[in-house]
Structure 1
Amino acid sequence: MSIGKVNIDISIVIVNYKSWKHLENCLNSINKIISNEFFLEVIIVDNCSHDHLFEVFKKKFPQFIFIENTGNNGFANGCNLGAKSAKGNYFLFLNPDTIISEEPILKMYSFLKENKNIGVVSCNQLNTNGFYEKNIRFFLDLNTLFGLFRALNKKKLSARVLQKNNVLYPDWVSGAIVFIGREWFDKINGWDEDFWMYYEDVNLSKKVSDVGGIVALLTNTEIIHNHGGSSRINIKTASITKTEVLISKHVYIRHNYTGIKHFILHFLLIINNLIGKIIAGSIGVLFFFIPKLRLNVYLCFNTIKYYISSLINRTWLSSRSLNYPNKI
């Protein structure tokens, strides 16, 4: 692996939270990279896992930089914390549950250097079952808010998809692998820490687009992504993450829409979430002994709690966000 040079080309930033097994595989894959085309540094930000493995990994991988966050402050905060310590001209934000090689790094790095109008680039993700994850993604809007809306607008949405040679141009790319130049990162003020988890990648791509940058995805290279390996561990964890998806949609709407569309999007989301979660939660109460249905009870409770809290505190933010009002 090409590290140790004063002039670092690429800073890989990985945010970890109790995902040490996957992280070890990821770091081992990076260790195998030997390139004459770029020099790397690797920064791991641990969001305060509190499981005594932080020091173990620091000793096991002394060639990498380990930073312990002050708490589980979210993906966006962890990424920004890592970027503050980064020396590279380019940042590669990478999930701990990924496996990477030289080829995708070099192709994305070369693509960014050759195309200054590209703000963000990513690549294909191959899951452990051997299937590619979807790479055509659209910003949240009236015609994409729900699955039914997307189905009704399928023809219109398909016409928006641009692909030239081996480059796809989606609205946004997954936060599992985001390659961005330092100049673009500074231009958009990095990741938005209003998001605790989820939709921060959508918002990052949206900020790039709003200032004239292009979002791209290379289809001729790939990484392996053990999707969900760092978050979907048990029912309690699943209830938190699924609730945060719901919350982050509201945060995204708050940031990117105004006027009547802002109101309509929030309203539709609230009605859909309350009706759906109350029905699913009621069924879950009857079949509480079934784990998947028991999860629906927790989601119903979390959803109602969130909306009540939003009214009282006059904010759409998650209570876990560092920017939550009166956060101590």
Structure 2
Amino acid sequence: MKLTVIIVNYRVRYFLELCLHSVEKAVRGVEAEIVVVDNRSADESLGYLRPRFPGVRFVANAENIGFGRANNLALEQARGEYVLFLNPDTILPEDCVDQCLAFLSSTPGIGGLGLRMIDGGGHFLKESRRGFPTPWIGFCRLSGLSSLFPRSRYFSGYYLGHLPADRAHPAPVLSGACLWVSRAVLEKTGYFDPRFFLYAEDIDLSYRIEQAGFTNYYTPAVTIVHFKGESTRKDIRYVRQFYRAMRQFRRKHFNKGLPALFDWGIQAAIRLRSVLAVVDGLLRRREERPVGGRVFVEGDATEVSRVKGLIGDRRMIVDTVAEADELLLCEGATYSFRRCIVRLEEEGRTGKRRVLFCAAGSGAIVGSSDRKDRGEAIEL
């Protein structure tokens, strides 16, 4: 078998539904298997998704065992020569698999492969490629120096701001939201470190891949959507988990020989960012979020007709996109996922409208234009 796609799900059944529709179209013509590991979601994810995707293998965990362990569980059953670790809140274009397999097979010494990612607002996600969070890079990131000098090789090593995002290049750290790697590489490096419950496990695996003598790459030839953070709420618990993972990684790989003062500075920066993140979350919760606006429905004619008939009582449907503050893209036989992604980027450049998505025959509309907040799912 050529490819195994592994997706870990936690309480995002409607976003995962959209993702699976895109994955199934992307693997057409390729000998592939799709494995979804559910970390005991409380939203009836499996009951909803199993009958809709009979070709997908679903694994139900009795408890939330974390991202890394869930991926490892699927890896033990995987049969593919290559593995794609994919987040459930993503959309792939139809040619994604063909292009990525060609890149992997034609690049000598490649370890992992990461893609160009945009969020639900159509904006480039800087974490599509990153540098290793060495003590200095971590300090610049946490202290805000990398934001002050986003193009500097010296201060902005975390997001590789000195390298063009529109060209393929080596990238030490790849995002676990969409990470391609061969089984042969994983057999040499080992799987995800189960000690990382959530966050930093992709950094750790990327680091071990390069330590084993391989080179990780980033390519902008394929753009995917990553709605960003749909499985986690940006609350105090999230903040603690995120920065605890950062400390775990630092201690595992960069603890020896650090001067005490410099180490204290890293810890102080982490604590400061934790406090700021909590304050930001509290302020954001006080803001009123807009509900139900004027929506223009675009896409496959059959799907447009179906969706209009189902949401007419919840949204004001307008006749032209110029009148709308929301754009609903309906994927279908005549309107591809690739076209949806292109339209999202076009709208992202104007910033005028929020973009929502619906796949052919799906039971919900989803969208998330703000990477710092939860998205919206509208049941059909």
TM-score (norm 1): 0.75
- RMSD in angstroms over aligned alpha carbons? 3.0
**Do 1:254 and 1:262's aligned partners in 2 also have CA atoms closer than 8 Å?**
no
> Partner of 1:324 in structure 2?
none
Instruction: Name the counterpart of 2:212.
Output: 211
Match of 1:54 in 2: 46
Corresponding residue of 1:15 = 8
C-alpha contact (below 8 Å) 2:111/2:216 kept by paired residues: yes
In the alignment, what sits opposite 2:232?
231
User: 2:247 aligned to 235, 239, 250, which one?
Assistant: 250
What SS does the corresponding residue of 2:5 show, helix, strand or coil? Answer: strand
Q: What stretches of structure 2 of length at least 5 have no aligned partner?
A: 288-380
Taking the TM superposition and a 5 Å limit, the aligned residue runs for 1:162-311 are 166-232=167-233, 238-261=235-258, 266-274=263-271, 291=285
* 2:157 is the alignment partner of 1:156: no
Q: Distance in 2 between matches of 1:158 and 1:269?
A: 16
How many percent of aligned residue pairs carry the same amino acid?
24
* Unaligned runs of at least 5 residues, structure 1: 1-7, 294-328
Q: Which amino acid aligns with 2:207?
A: K
Residue type matched to 1:156 in 2?
Answer: Y
Note closer, same or farther for the CA distance 1:154–1:86 as it changes in structure 2 (3 Å cut): same
Q: What is the match of residue 62 of structure 2?
A: 70
Residue equivalent to 2:359: none
1:8-157 matched pairs, under 5 angstroms: 8-33=1-26, 35-36=28-29, 38-134=30-126, 135-145=128-138, 146-150=142-146, 151=148, 154-156=152-154
SS in 1 for 2:186: helix
Distance 1:187 1:54, change over 3 A: same
SS of equivalent to 2:248 = helix
Whole-angstrom distance in 1 between the partners of 2:166 and 2:273: 42
1:236-269 deviation per Cα after TM superposition (whole angstroms, max 9, x unaligned):
x622222111100111012112323285565223
Aligned-pair CA distance for 1:165: 8.9
* Offset of residue 280 of structure 1: 8.3
Whole-Å separation in 1 of the counterparts to 2:125 and 2:165: 20
Deviation at residue 157 of structure 1 after TM alignment: 5.5
Q: Which moved more, 1:131-140 or 1:172-181?
A: 131-140
Instruction: Give the conservation status (yes or no) of the 8 Å contact 1:168–1:218.
Output: yes
CA distance in 1, matches of 2:4, 2:274: 41
Q: 1:163 to 1:211 in 2, by over 3 A?
A: farther
Letter in 2 for 1:59: P
Q: For 2:250, give the aligned amino acid.
A: I
Which string of whole-angstrom CA distances, capped at 9 and with x for unpartnered residues, describes residues 126-168 of structure 1?
Answer: 2221111113412112322224443579243679766799412
Q: Which of structure 1's runs of 4+ aligned residues deviate more than 2 A?
A: 31-36, 50-53, 146-166, 262-281, 288-293
Q: Distance in 2 between matches of 1:11 and 1:280?
A: 36
